[in-house]
Structure 1
């Protein structure tokens, strides 16, 4: 990219031409200063046959020097007659000011073969419709969004009928796309070829749409560990306990399985919710009850837990809540007691600190998956299983809990994305995504949109810079993440927000300990004893403490509702999910929250953070950038 004045020669000029033209830049009586008017500029565009022009193109067309054209365009821009923009990998371009009136208009372009939809400046209606059938791939952060329609987007469609699905697409696209609609129809049919049902005698049956599918797909992909002898040409008796593995196997073969089993709900449980739901939360619950399974997807602070409590009350059966940690298990108990009429003796916790099974039981994934505890959970007929932070399900430690049987399955996650691309397993094992566009919640004021600022930090010393140059792989990332200049940057930000409650997130334990000692702020990590963690978090919630340094234990679900400032010392963690979760620590209705992301200038950390921020920008989060002065510069 050229500099702001576009003084470099145009790429089509030879060096000699540029040199000759730029020598005589001073006006004389024979060669007065060239004048540019809006009318003359538009005439130049007509000659060029383009809606925009570079200074080099204007110079060639009008037979001016490059410097003369650049100066004249600058002068005209000062009067408001034209405007300019910097284009990546190209010089500055100029265009008539009246074009700006069209810049913010919505523009939708469809690429049927790639099944991509590119939308510039989408309206709220368009984004809401797109979330029903497409996956956001990327956002430039400047109003351009790229969506992709994947197989699973059709398979998990919230619509009941194909006509409704295609109708939703037609509401968004500027014109019909027959090839795309044909592909969608094929995927819609493909998602309805296999189903798990319950035989009148009580065992599970795998049904296929035709004998060929049962013989050539199911019987080829599955073995005696999954299926007993065939019942008919299109039905097979399922080995008890293999249902989840059958779903995974056939899904990998390109055939999602409809789970239509008549599972027992277990004992009745009469629960009343003690608060009113927001409109979108009611929609979540209604959509879940229609399907019997699903994953609530919404930003931190949008009330997914409250929606889950409402679902529990509607289902009215014994419930198991699975959480990643004891802290979250304790928070679930607090929420149940605060917002329902359940008595304390109706709520049990089953983890390292306590082991009791009750009508509503809260357990950790790890404990529920252990062989010595598994029988207790298998024997219970759960009406509902709630999977908090459900993005963990594909991992080996947690996926065994997906085999537990329940009439209803409900997952909760702000960002069900995984860097190993296994998010499809989440919806295969638990249920289809149910969610609301983040930007819609921001605009309605239900969730405060944080302002995220990326701050580029110079190297703290030549020693740091040299260590980075000689490091490789993960070590190189750590050197950039722990750049010594970041400590001063954090100290400065905390001073700027002296009266705000602030969280500082770190990636490495040594880094957290160093900052804690230098700043006099407690550091909470996985090594911190449970009781000490709870004490510090409670003090922060109550306002008795306004500063905490937190490792990854603060990424998920920890209820820190009044954090006004979040500082990401080591970028945004290791994944897009962590980026959203850390930014989400400040997403609460109070508003005025700030998120600062520190990245060492000129390193791979800078590129990595930019990529993660695109994920947030695609969700409607406002982003900005700032540079910290290099103290070593003269």
Structure 2
């Protein structure tokens, strides 16, 4: 009987539809609709969230969103069927045709290795397409040779740049040209003599390291099938173990590896994790940063060192590191932070396997297509809320606390202009009172106070008697405070933008965001990610965004939260005077 009611309910939801699908590639998703959650789960696979007002969330279908869906195994029929299911009214026939055309472009062009390893073959069943491309000025610059009606041959050195240009023209390429193996490096997982529930055991009864089910799926997705693996992005939330996944890919490939990451703290975390969990020795792994310049079979470097140069006109001093050894794998950690200057160098190393790890594909510089063409498509995407449901990350309660201006500050704000208005709102002194009250409310929980402006952070750190960790602090002192925090010796630390990047603070359960970089969605995701690691007991964490009421900061907060809203997080709006402390 109940099953019959469920079927009837699903048919009713399908008939009503949670979405208004428009001809201009935008989709309006009704927040209060009973089918909201189901529709959102489908839309995020092939459309991008644009804005999140209270009643309708706006999504947009783009070529890139459809190509990433295609890389994950969706075809145009599945996308159209999904749209028709979530739509309140009939989907425009013209929109359906456009979606079919955009998705058909994915895979129309394929790269294969030539008989001469220095050459690459561009192949298509569509002879007219090759004719048209060959006549384009930007493509003719690659000096490709027409060897048959369905094949063009070009120099392998141009592999990355051609992929980049073809993607720009709307024709993403399936790259079957293969990758060099690189220098061999033998490594395995380090056995754990103590054993634990999460350990697996080999044939000799030794306890060893075990991947979580979703981590294994991510590694399998990168490895691919039928020769198409070896280049692409794995998208998982902070705290899901992306470092572990990177190491697992390396363990599968058994080759020398260059790992690029966001800062020196992250470099040393990668090194420590590899020494703890794999058989790689200290002699085999090197740090390449501002402090050290070690090139070893596994080398971990910062993006900053790769983009260092003595002047704007000078060459990048250390970019040669990308080709210093015969790397079999290059891992781009936090790929959403990959500096634009590295793209050119990445175009030159297409014969090396490339793995991008990230919590979000969002880039504030709009270079998503370059990531797609030069690092690879999205090969695996694990929804944040699904990991939460399975207990692998903490359940987070998000609140936006709106803090009023004083009369004096409101007057100054009204008279100010542009960025100065935003800064006045971000540094609103009334936020200090809210911080103190929230610290009292969570007095036994390890807490991060995160902000953008050093003067504001210094004041708050002084008032709450907590250490301030910023970019100017030495790496040694920074690690001292992080260690004290992890060991419970201190309960609260104040952190600047260094908390936006890979920082290992597994015990943080509360985050108070007092200011941020305008409307940066990736920053909001990274900051919430600082508290996602599983917690003992109820496995809950708390994220508070403090925003000046009736200000530009409030408007930017809507954009900042957009990516997390798409992932299923909801921000309860509370006013400072109404907040239950």
Q: Is 1:272 the counterpart of 2:217 in the alignment?
A: no
Q: Is 1:559 the counterpart of 2:499 in the alignment?
A: no
Aligned to 2:389: 443
Q: Please give the alpha-carbon distance, in whole angstroms, between the structure 2 residues aligned to 1:146 and 1:578.
A: 21
Contact map agreement 1:500 1:565 (CA 8 A) in 2: yes
Q: Is 1:596 the counterpart of 2:544 in the alignment?
A: yes
Q: Please give the alpha-carbon distance, in whole angstroms, between the structure 2 residues aligned to 1:454 and 1:566.
A: 12
Q: What is the CA distance between 1:380 and its match in structure 2?
A: 2.6
- Check 1:219–1:257 CA distance in 2 against 1; reply closer, same or farther (3 A cut): farther
Structure 2 unaligned residues grouped into runs of 5+: 1-8, 190-207, 309-315
TM-score by length of 2: 0.82
Aligned to 1:319: 257
Q: What is the CA distance between 1:532 and its match in structure 2?
A: 1.5
Aligned to 2:312: none
Q: Please give the alpha-carbon distance, in whole angstroms, between the structure 1 residues aligned to 2:561 and 2:307.
A: 35
How many equivalent residue pairs? Answer: 527
Q: What is the CA distance between 1:125 and its match in structure 2?
A: 6.2
SS in 2 for 1:267: coil
Aligned to 1:54: none
Q: Please give the alpha-carbon distance, in whole angstroms, between the structure 1 residues aligned to 2:137 and 2:174.
A: 17
Which residue among 106, 109, 129 is the counterpart of 2:19? 109
Q: Please give the alpha-carbon distance, in whole angstroms, between the structure 1 residues aligned to 2:259 and 2:250.
A: 10
Q: For structure 1, which segment, 351-360 or 578-587, has the greater mean C-alpha deviation from structure 2 after superposition?
A: 351-360
Structure 1 unaligned residues grouped into runs of 5+: 1-98
Which residue among 342, 345, 348 is the counterpart of 1:400? 345
- Check 1:487–1:171 CA distance in 2 against 1; reply closer, same or farther (3 A cut): closer
Deviations, residues 322-361 of structure 1 (Å, cap 9, x unaligned): 1121111111111111222222222122222222222222
Q: Is 1:186 the counterpart of 2:132 in the alignment?
A: no
Q: What is the CA distance between 1:572 and its match in structure 2?
A: 6.7
Contact map agreement 1:105 1:121 (CA 8 A) in 2: no
Q: Is 1:365 the counterpart of 2:303 in the alignment?
A: yes
- Which structure has more RCO (C-alpha within 8 Å, separation ≥ 6)? 2
Contact map agreement 1:126 1:172 (CA 8 A) in 2: no
Which residue among 329, 335, 357 is the counterpart of 1:412? 357
Which residue among 129, 145, 170 is the counterpart of 2:81? 170
Q: Please give the alpha-carbon distance, in whole angstroms, between the structure 1 residues aligned to 2:339 and 2:287.
A: 24
Contact map agreement 2:519 2:559 (CA 8 A) in 1: no
Aligned to 1:198: 113
Q: Is 1:153 the counterpart of 2:91 in the alignment?
A: no
Contact map agreement 1:599 1:606 (CA 8 A) in 2: yes
- Check 1:441–1:200 CA distance in 2 against 1; reply closer, same or farther (3 A cut): same
- Check 1:279–1:181 CA distance in 2 against 1; reply closer, same or farther (3 A cut): farther
Contact map agreement 2:179 2:230 (CA 8 A) in 1: no
Contact map agreement 2:45 2:69 (CA 8 A) in 1: yes
Deviations, residues 251-309 of structure 1 (Å, cap 9, x unaligned): 11112122222221112233323422222222211111113222111221122221222
Q: Is 1:626 the counterpart of 2:574 in the alignment?
A: yes
- Write the mapping of 1:111-510 to structure 2, written as runs, cut at 5 A: 111=21, 113-119=23-29, 120-122=33-35, 127-140=40-53, 145-158=57-70, 166-167=77-78, 170=81, 173-174=84-85, 179-209=94-124, 210=126, 212-222=128-138, 226-227=142-143, 230-231=146-147, 235-239=151-155, 241-273=157-189, 274-290=208-224, 291-369=229-307, 371-393=316-338, 395-396=340-341, 400-401=345-346, 403-433=348-378, 434-459=380-405, 461-510=406-455
- Check 1:510–1:171 CA distance in 2 against 1; reply closer, same or farther (3 A cut): closer
Q: What do you get for the CA RMSD once the two structures are aligned?
A: 3.0
Q: For structure 1, which segment, 269-278 or 108-117, has the greater mean C-alpha deviation from structure 2 after superposition?
A: 108-117
- Check 1:159–1:472 CA distance in 2 against 1; reply closer, same or farther (3 A cut): closer
- Check 1:161–1:447 CA distance in 2 against 1; reply closer, same or farther (3 A cut): closer
Which residue among 609, 612, 618 is the counterpart of 2:560? 612
Q: Please give the alpha-carbon distance, in whole angstroms, between the structure 1 residues aligned to 2:51 and 2:348.
A: 34
TM-score by length of 1: 0.76
